[in-house]
Amino acid sequence: MLELKNLKLSYGTSQILNGVNFSVKRGDVVSIIGPSGTGKTTLLKCINYLVKPTSGTIDFDQIRMDYARPDKATIQAIRLRTAMVFQQFNVFKNMTVLQNVMDPLVVVQRKSQDEAREIALMELDRVGLSAKKDQYPAQLSGGQLQRTGIARALAVRPDVMLFDEPTSSLDPELVGEVLKVIKDVTSSGITSILVTHEMQFAKNISNRIVFMDAGVVAAEGSPSEMFDAPANPRLAQFLSTELETQ
């Protein structure tokens, strides 16, 4: 359903993505792992054009775009099909939890207040936050904030969920509740791409693992191919240091 080909991107004079080829099928749960600074966040952001690749193409079902010739309508069409959960929680401080989840439904999808409320309440229930619906972000824990962000992303019913290290800014005791919600989401069949340093979690929830290194996809395969018998020496080295610190 989604395919990126030969994606290149530079910031100033540094080439960050050096020809990434990456694809997901409908229903896939793909985890992207790899060393810090290797371009994982940048790759996710290319999908909804939050950053501008210099070349490459994207195919999203019937939508196709050449990044060398971006056009607004196509970018908008792709954005409407994706939702991103950021490392830093994407919630508005001046809105209640419920208003945060209703916001994209009303503002982007032009749904009525009643319809937006109904969907938002359903998504808040799914992430276990019904009781907090009238609270403001300042009154919530990091885990609750991130679950609000996830409900907000889910509410627009995206074709693809993009998660960028959704637990990395949480206190350790709050990681579990957010991972549980992500596990529920991915097992419900929503196509998901997850950038994570939680190796055990990636292994448990994904049907494919993509290892990025130095701005390219250096290896990919099933969780057991990648974690139990990594053929790529850089991957083996990355996993041994990563697992040491967990």
Ligand X SMILES: Nc1ncnc2c1ncn2[C@@H]1O[C@H](COP(=O)(O)OP(=O)(O)OP(=O)(O)O)[C@@H](O)[C@H]1O
- Report the alpha-carbon distance of residue 156 to residue 133 in Å, rounded: 18
Which tokens hold the place of 202?
A: 């990636």
Which tokens hold the place of 203?
A: 């292994």
Interface with ligand X, residue 11, by CB under 6 A: yes
Nearer to ligand X, 40 or 126 (CB): 40
Find the DSSP H helices in 94-191: 97-107, 113-126, 142-155, 172-187
Interface with Mg ion, residue 191, by CB under 5 A: no
Least separation in angstroms between CB 42 and Mg ion: 8
Least separation in angstroms between CB 30 and Mg ion: 15
Of 167, 158, 231, 156, the residue nearest 200 (C-alpha): 167
Residue list 12-51, contact with Mg ion (CB under 5 A): 41
From the list 36, 94, 245, 246, which residue makes contact with ligand X (rule: CB under 6 A)? 36
CA dihedral (74, 76, 81, 83) positive or negative: positive
The span of 36-44, 150-158, 169-177, 233-241 binding ligand X (CB under 6 A) equals: 36-44
Interface with ligand X, residue 38, by CB under 6 A: yes
The span of 31-39, 120-128, 135-143, 229-237 binding ligand X (CB under 6 A) equals: 31-39
- Say how far residue 57 (Cα) sits from the centre of its chain: 20
Site residues, ligand X (CB under 6 A): 11, 16, 36-42
